[in-house]
């Protein structure tokens, strides 16, 4: 056998068809491993396995749980976000309120508002006074009395005067008391002890009842009240009991000039005799020239206490209250300063000066006066005066 002819060999093998490209991809370069007999290279579609009812139910439950968890998370975040926003707004509102309060307070302190204590003192002239002149009664035991032998002043009004003077910055040695008559209380004029010289005073603390008629008078400016009492009657011990003003109808009764007791006596047909000093009324009573003396119970109680066997003190059962106040004249700034002292005494539980004055002067008179009221044993209510308080000040002292 020899070599096989090449042409013969090619004729012996069957002809192979030329590779063809899929339609639409003609001219593209295919990977080297691609050949026409490999086909399109598509994955064979495998039919899914049939799903059971249990699997469907389990899948639905899982999806529902996921959905509920998502909804719960959304609701929780909404609540948290809402609370956060509410707290944020509340804090913002609180901050705004604090800023506005500080602005208003600072404005009142620096720009406007009521006067401060220092400004009131300057307006009243207190800082220019070397002494404090006070007009008082001088013949009322337990209220305001000057002992002619020693020159010592004592009584409830005297203690109240010292309390006010202390807060105004005056020592006891700087206080000057001057006796005055009832008609001079509005004039702010007193008399030197043992003489006839008239003396102007800065304050009048002289059992002076506050009334609308007096407040309308020129030269009268009352502080707030410092004592509540009532009208009563004193007679000699042998006199028949007096339970009402009707028992004195047609009888002579002595009272103080310009006193509030006068109108009640006139209304009940008593014959009124007026004197400028209560001592003068008791002198008439001792002489038998009048049947009785009628004025405030706090004044008559002192005479009953001093002369228990000589005088009888009768309660009239009247509803009207006699409230005593301090007359500062035409000095409104001084009125505010006096009110500030009374307010401190009223509101501060550590300030017992008013209570001490009551106990030292009226409490000791209760036994001799029996069931007849003297005065209410509590300081009258005092409204806070309109005074600007600086941050470093304490109005209560």
Note down pLDDT in tens along the chain; length 397 residues.
Answer: 544 444 444 444 455 555 555 554 444 454 444 444 444 444 555 556 665 766 666 666 766 666 767 677 666 666 656 666 666 677 777 777 777 766 555 555 555 689 999 999 999 999 999 999 999 999 999 999 999 999 999 999 999 999 999 999 999 999 999 999 998 999 999 988 777 789 999 999 999 999 999 999 999 999 999 999 999 999 999 999 999 999 999 999 999 987 778 888 988 899 999 999 999 999 999 999 999 999 999 999 999 999 999 999 999 998 899 999 999 999 999 999 999 999 999 999 999 999 999 999 999 999 999 999 999 999 999 999 999 987 776 766 5
What's the rounded Cα separation, in Å, for the pair 356 and 360? 6
What's the rounded Cα separation, in Å, for the pair 195 and 25? 143
Q: What is the pTM assigned to this prediction?
A: 0.73
Closest CA to 41 of 25, 52, 27, 54: 25
Residues 6+ positions from 370 with CB-CB distance below 8 Å: 313
First-to-last C-alpha distance (Å) of the chain:
146
Q: What is the DSSP letter of 155?
A: S
What's the rounded Cα separation, in Å, for the pair 192 and 199? 7
CATH class label, 117-225+324-364: alpha beta
Q: Residue 135 in contact with residue 201, Cβ under 8 Å?
A: yes
**What is the CATH architecture assignment of 231-320?**
3-Layer(aba) Sandwich (3.40)
What's the rounded Cα separation, in Å, for the pair 115 and 121? 10
């Amino acid at each position: 056998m020899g070599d096989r002819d090449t042409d013969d060999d090619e004729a012996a093998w069957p002809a192979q068809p030329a590779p063809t490209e899929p339609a639409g991809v003609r001219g593209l370069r295919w990977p080297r491993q691609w050949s026409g007999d490999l086909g399109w290279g598509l994955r064979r579609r495998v039919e899914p396995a049939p799903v059971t009812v249990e699997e469907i139910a389990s899948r639905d439950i899982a999806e529902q749980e996921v959905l509920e968890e998502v909804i719960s998370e959304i609701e929780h975040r909404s609540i948290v976000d809402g609370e956060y926003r509410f707290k944020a707004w509340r804090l913002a509102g609180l901050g705004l309120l604090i800023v506005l309060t500080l602005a208003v307070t600072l404005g009142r302190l620096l720009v406007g508002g009521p006067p401060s204590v220092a400004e009131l003192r300057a307006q009243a002239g207190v800082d220019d006074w070397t002494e404090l002149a006070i007009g008082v009664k001088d013949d009322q035991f337990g209220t305001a009395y000057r002992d002619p032998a020693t020159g010592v002043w004592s009584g409830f009004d005297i203690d109240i005067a010292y309390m006010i003077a202390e807060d105004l910055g005056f020592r006891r040695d700087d206080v000057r008391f001057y006796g005055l008559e009832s008609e001079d209380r509005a004039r702010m004029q007193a008399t030197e002890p043992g003489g006839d010289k008239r003396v102007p005073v800065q304050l009048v603390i002289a059992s002076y009842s506050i009334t609308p008629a007096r407040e309308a008078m020129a030269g009268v400016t009352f502080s707030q009240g410092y004592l509540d009492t009532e009208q009563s009657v004193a007679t000699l011990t042998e006199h028949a009991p007096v339970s009402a003003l009707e028992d004195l109808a047609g009888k002579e009764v002595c009272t103080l000039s310009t006193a509030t007791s006068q109108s009640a006596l006139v209304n009940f047909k008593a014959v009124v005799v007026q004197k400028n000093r209560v001592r003068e009324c008791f002198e008439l009573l001792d002489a038998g020239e009048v049947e009785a003396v009628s004025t405030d119970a706090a004044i008559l109680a002192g005479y009953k206490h001093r002369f228990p066997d000589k005088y009888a003190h009768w309660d009239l059962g009247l509803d009207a209250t006699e409230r005593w106040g301090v007359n500062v004249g035409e000095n409104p700034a001084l009125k505010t300063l006096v009110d500030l002292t009374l307010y401190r005494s009223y509101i501060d539980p550590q300030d017992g000066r008013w209570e001490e004055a009551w106990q030292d002067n009226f409490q000791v008179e209760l036994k001799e006066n029996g069931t007849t009221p003297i005065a209410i044993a509590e300081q009258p209510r005092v409204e806070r005066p309109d005074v600007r308080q600086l941050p470093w000040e304490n109005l209560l002292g």
